[in-house]
Amino acid sequence: MNNEIHTLFVGDLMLGGEYISHAEKKDYELLHPFRLIEPHFSDVDIVLANLEGPLFEGSNRRPDVTSLLSNHPAIIDFLKNKSICVLNLANNHTMDYGPEGLEQTIDFLEEHGIYFVGAGRNEIEANREVIIELKGKKIAFLAYTTNERHVGSVLAGPNTPGCASLAYFEYIVEKISDLKKTADIICISLHWGYEYFSFPSPDQIKIAHAFADAGSTYIIGHHPHVVQGLERYNDSLIIYSLGNFFLPPVRGTSGRLQSRKEITKEFMLLKSSTNGKDKPDFCIEGGKVDPSYLIIPYNYNDQIKFMYKIEELSKPLSSDRYNDFWREYYIKRTEELNTESFIEAFKKAKAMPLRELIHTVSFDDIKRNLKRFYYALTKRVS
């Protein structure tokens, strides 16, 4: 009897944004993007995905963000009839529509038999693990995020809804150790890291290693919107970022379109199997989302290139000089992103009708882009 648990891990998922209006114009079925990728969801026991944003909008919009994300409930029609599905809700968009959006999402997921982890009506609910019994095995799921500036999640309090906090590090390590006494497989889902960075910070590596030492089988990351490297650490498998799975452009709170960087259209699927005793086997597959919003796995040649890319992203992670590597990379990537942001803002402004530009631009936009321009100019000169 095969008692291995086969799991598919995917990154940021949002069936919403500009895709919905595009689908209506083109008369697409709402689940059109997933036509080619669907077989990957059918030959595994469990699927874990990061649901970026609630399933419903509401009147209580989050005031401190420039974009609000939400999912069309049709995404559940895709997920519920496949394998057992677990959704990570510990992310920076779960509370975009306040307690109402989270409450409705929780009710809808429970109604359709979809497991969720990482958020709740209060701190206790948000930190509650999900345990699934399958093939004589117990598989435990936990999820956490952070309210650090580069992530910005809303964290749950004793009497307030939100996400489970990564800040309670020692508590999480102890919880993993306790779960290890009864669970065969433990999966930790983490919404963390720096957006558009191809490498994790040294702190992330320390956290992942500590969770692995405590007994986690998998440590699965997302939030940077780009793929990052992976490593085997002792008996654990660590993936620092799976990138976006499906995350279309959205309109900002000003009404202006926020387009996606080309590098964010690439995704990584991780398929892994384990019996809970041996090291997990795994394979990765890459692909891109095309202009028609179709999720397309790479062909053979592109898959080889993708594997090489992940290998190169993974090499520095085990270096004993990683701190030095990160410092240099952080400075370089920050400068690149500043320049990219200015160029992208200029291109967007140039492409917009004058009336729309005047209507949506704000003083903060002008001030922010002048700073970007000055920074980019001075860095180029130096």
The DSSP element (H or E) to which 272 belongs, if any, is strand 266-274
* Whether residues 311 and 335 fall in one domain: no
Rounded to whole angstroms, how far apart are CA atoms 363 and 37? 43
Q: What is the pLDDT of residue 42?
A: 86
* Whether residues 372 and 237 fall in one domain: no
Which residue from 271, 270, 212, 207 is spatially nearest to 243, judged by alpha carbons? 270
Residues 40-99 have pLDDT tens digits of 998 899 999 999 999 988 778 998 888 999 999 999 999 987 689 999 999 999 999 999
Last residue of a domain, one of 318, 335, 370: 318
Residues 180-222 have pLDDT tens digits of 999 999 999 999 999 999 999 999 999 999 999 999 999 999 9
Token couple for 98: 């306040």
* Whether residues 60 and 208 fall in one domain: yes
* Whether residues 159 and 209 fall in one domain: yes
pLDDT over 90 (residue 120)? yes
Structural domain range at position 361: 327-381
* Whether residues 312 and 344 fall in one domain: no
Q: DSSP secondary structure string, 174-239?
A: HHHHHHHTT-SEEEEEEE-S-TT-SS--HHHHHHHHHHHHHT-SEEEEE-SSSB--EEEETTEEEE
Q: Considering just the CA atoms, what is the radius of gyration of the chain in Å?
A: 21
**pLDDT interval class at 380 (50, 70, 90):** very low
Residues 370-379 have pLDDT tens digits of 554 555 555 5
* Whether residues 90 and 73 fall in one domain: yes
* Whether residues 337 and 300 fall in one domain: no
* Whether residues 227 and 355 fall in one domain: no
Long-range CB contacts (< 8 A, 24+ apart) of 301-309? Answer: 306/266, 306/268, 309/227
* Whether residues 207 and 280 fall in one domain: yes
* Whether residues 265 and 362 fall in one domain: no
Rounded to whole angstroms, how far apart are CA atoms 52 and 54? 7
Reported pTM = 0.90
Burial 132-158 (b: 16+ CB within 10 A, else e): beeeebbbbbbbbbbeeeebbbbbbee
**Residue 304: which residues within 8 A CB-CB, separation 6 or more?**
none
Residues 339-358 have pLDDT tens digits of 887 776 655 555 555 565 45
Contact 310, 317 (CB under 8 A): no
Token couple for 308: 């090489």
* Whether residues 142 and 211 fall in one domain: yes
**Residue 136: which residues within 8 A CB-CB, separation 6 or more?**
3
Last residue of a domain, one of 273, 295, 318: 318
